[in-house]
Structure 1
Amino acid sequence: MTNKDKRKIVDTEISIHPEVKDRISDFQKQCLIDEIKSLPPIKEGEINISTDYIFDMGDNYEVSIFIRNGLAKSIVLDNMEFVVINEKKQILGKKTFNLREAGGIPAHTVRPWKICFEKEEIALGKNDVKKLKVLFNTKGTEFKKSMKVEFENLPSKISYNDKQKYTKFLEGLPIIEDGQFSMCDYDVNKTKEGGISVTVVIRNGVGRKINIEKVPLTIFDADKKMIASGTFYLDNVAINPYKARIYKFSFAKEELYNQDINLKKWEVKFDAVKNISTGDEKNDEEK
């Protein structure tokens, strides 16, 4: 007797990449929607990549793909390998693509995307390019689910330009995988009082709220000289699941090791962040 998969079928909506959204006509969008409707259904918790066509563009071969997210949260995909086969299922070429370029894919949506093979990457021979198939190689690729995080504490009166700068910085950070937590420096500058201020972006890729109590950090200037080092003790600092927050840490002038500072470049090192806990621990103990 076998256990039946009781997961529900996911109804997915189309999600066009923000950078190309304005360049797609209503007719093109409707064509994509019709193509998506013809795809086999996916279930809750599944991530699926389907290929549509391969087309000879002259300089290269263009492949249309659909990335479907059956998870209840946004994702960003990492490197994925695709294989080109002919009618006899012979492999004519393979290539790994960084699908992070496709951007964050919201929960229960489909992201149309295109990948390209160079002509020399496919041994076409006498095969008809219209009869080739492109498959997502699940065996040859390490499938990593990477979480798209968004800011949760940007000031309501922040200017549009500053908001764009923060958002662009966040999107340009290394991928954070599901279950990971990270801190990275956004800016280091001198204060009016002669001290040093460090702006830090903290990301929570964990599925639970994270509390932070201590943050040890050390700052080096462009000449590799240590500027300041210390541990900051935080009260009631919590980051919600799959969110990012901005915090500023400041060293007073008298806490600096050297007043001759070159801040054209800087480096901030975070020792292991101390006393990180999930926000649900207290509630769990009470239950």
Structure 2
Amino acid sequence: MKDNSKQGKIVDTEISIHPSMEDRISKFQKECLVEEAEALPPIKEGEVDVNTDFIFDLGDKYEVSVFIRNGLPKPVNLEKIPFKVVNKKEEVLGSKIFDLREMGQIPPRTVRPWKVYFDKEDIKLGENDLKDLRIIFDTRLKAERTINVTFENLPLGIKGEHRRKYEKFLQSLPLLRLGQVSMTAYKVEKTKDDGIAVEVVIRNGRANGIDVERIPLSIYDSKENLVASGIFYLKDVKVSPFKARIYSFTFSKDELIREDIRLNEWRVDFRLNKNISAGDEVGHEK
């Protein structure tokens, strides 16, 4: 992928580890990734490219480790990207379209390590050796216009690791398209009064602020049993353009449908359960 408005100058790129991987790789692994990224061929300003690190045969599929570099002076987000597999003669042995939204936003002038998987039937290996194969972008490469939002309502008293957890969670969420609004549950826990509190992150990808007037919530436990369901009617709740806000919604003990609650695993659905009446306001928000 190329941006022809500014091209030709060689740019230096730094490693960019996805936030969800930061705590899962060792210092040694990161140092190895840095060394491998530094050994990649030069990239020019205005280019986005992919380089193959290795291809493993996992038995039923191929694991491909790649480096995707962003030579643009702005972040880039990749969505449905066609990759082609070629050999030393540049012959195409296979292709597949990957959804790379989980890669998140790749900062300017950085290189992001990632892994993709090809099924065996996707690649006609023949007499070719895996070490001689590489992955290239198809000419249909598409970058989507997405928005990077930041919190606007985290209290100043939230500092250190507690604050970083909120910000890390926000960065790990799926990409937010321009014009999109999303709601995601951050945490579900019991209250001191044996009720249940749900923390929800609301993201606004629109160029104008939004008013949030009602939020239906249904909570299910680890066995998919309905725990609570209702609609929260809100007053004066606004989310600014390209911002995120976090709110806590609480069901009291009397509003819970069952008492034998298992919240070691949970699921929040932003719909009213079909067996629940929509007439009454429930709980409270803050």
Contact 2:16 2:106 in 1 (8 A): no
CA distance in 2, matches of 1:229, 1:56: 50
The match for 1:176 is 176
Give the drift of 1:62: 4.4
* Unmatched runs of 5 consecutive residues or more in structure 1: 272-287
Q: CA deviation at 1:78?
A: 3.5
- Asked if the contact 1:220/1:228 (under 8 Å) is kept, the reply is no
In the TM superposition, what is the alpha-carbon distance from 1:246 to its structure 2 partner?
Answer: 0.9
Task: Identify if the C-alpha distance between structure 1 residues 262 and 151 changes in structure 2 by more than 3 Å, giving closer, same or farther.
Answer: farther
The answer for the alignment partner of 2:27 in structure 1 is 22
Partners of 1:110 and 1:78 lie apart in 2 by 18
1:203 aligns with 2:208: no
Q: Name the count of aligned residue pairs.
A: 253
Q: Distance in 2 between matches of 1:219 and 1:119?
A: 37
Q: Indicate the residue corresponding to 2:72 in structure 1.
A: 70
Query: How far does residue 65 in structure 1 lie from its aligned partner after superposition?
Result: 2.9
What one-letter code is carried by the residue in structure 1 that aligns with 2:151? F
Which residue in 1 is equivalent to 2:213? Answer: 214
Closer, same or farther in 2 for the Cα pair 1:34/1:172, shift >3 Å? Answer: closer
Mapping 1:250-261, distance limit 5 Å = 250=250, 261=259
Could you tell me the TM-score, scaled by structure 1's length?
0.64
- Provide the secondary structure at the position in 1 that maps to 2:202: strand
Once the two structures are TM-superposed, the CA of residue 142 in structure 1 deviates from its matched residue by 6.3
User: Is the 1:218–1:229 contact (alpha carbons within 8 Å) kept by the matching residues of 2?
Assistant: yes
Could you tell me how far apart the structure 2 residues matched to 1:162 and 1:40 are?
39
Asked if the contact 2:227–2:261 (Cα under 8 Å) also holds between the matched residues in 1, the reply is no
* Aligned counterpart, 1:282: none
Partner of 2:45: 41
Which position in structure 1 is the counterpart of 2:277?
none
Residues 209-258 of structure 1 deviation map (CA, whole Å, 9 limit, x = unaligned): 523252333445654365443311125x33342x32212234677xx656
* Structure 1 residues 170 and 125: CA distance shift in structure 2, 3 A: same
Residues 23-51 of structure 1: CA distance to partner in whole angstroms, max 9, x if unpaired?
36779746634635x224317xxxx2x23
TM superposition shift of 1:87: 5.4
TM-aligned CA distance change 1:221 to 1:34, over 3 Å: closer
Contact 1:102–1:113 (8 Å) recurs in 2: no
SS in 2 for 1:32: helix
Residue 135 of structure 1 corresponds to 136
Equivalent residue of 2:236, what SS?
strand
Pick aligned residue for 1:32 from 24, 34, 37: 37
For 1:202, the aligned partner's letter is I
Q: TM-score, normalised by structure 2?
A: 0.64
Counterpart of 2:240?
239
Shift of 1:203: 1.2
Gap regions ≥5 residues in structure 2: 273-286
Checking the alignment, whether the CA contact within 8 Å between 1:153 and 1:245 is kept in structure 2 is yes
* Residues 239 and 75 of structure 1, relative CA distance in 2, 3 Å threshold: farther
Over the aligned positions, Cα root-mean-square deviation in angstroms equals: 4.2
Q: Aligned partners of 2:65 and 2:136: how far apart in 1?
A: 10
Aligned equivalent of 2:126? 125
Over residues 93-122 of structure 1, what are the superposed CA-to-partner deviations in whole Å (9 max), with x where a residue is unaligned? 22344534544322x222242546669453
The 1:88–1:263 alpha-carbon spacing in structure 2 relative to 1, beyond 3 Å, is same
Inter-partner Cα distance in structure 1 for 2:195 and 2:63: 56
CA offset at residue 133 of structure 1? 4.5
Letter of the structure 2 residue corresponding to residue 65 of structure 1: F
Alignment check: 8 A CA contact 2:104 2:174 kept: no
Q: Which residue of 1 aligns with 2:100?
A: 99
SS in 1 for 2:270: strand
- Separation in 1, partners of 2:164, 2:196: 24
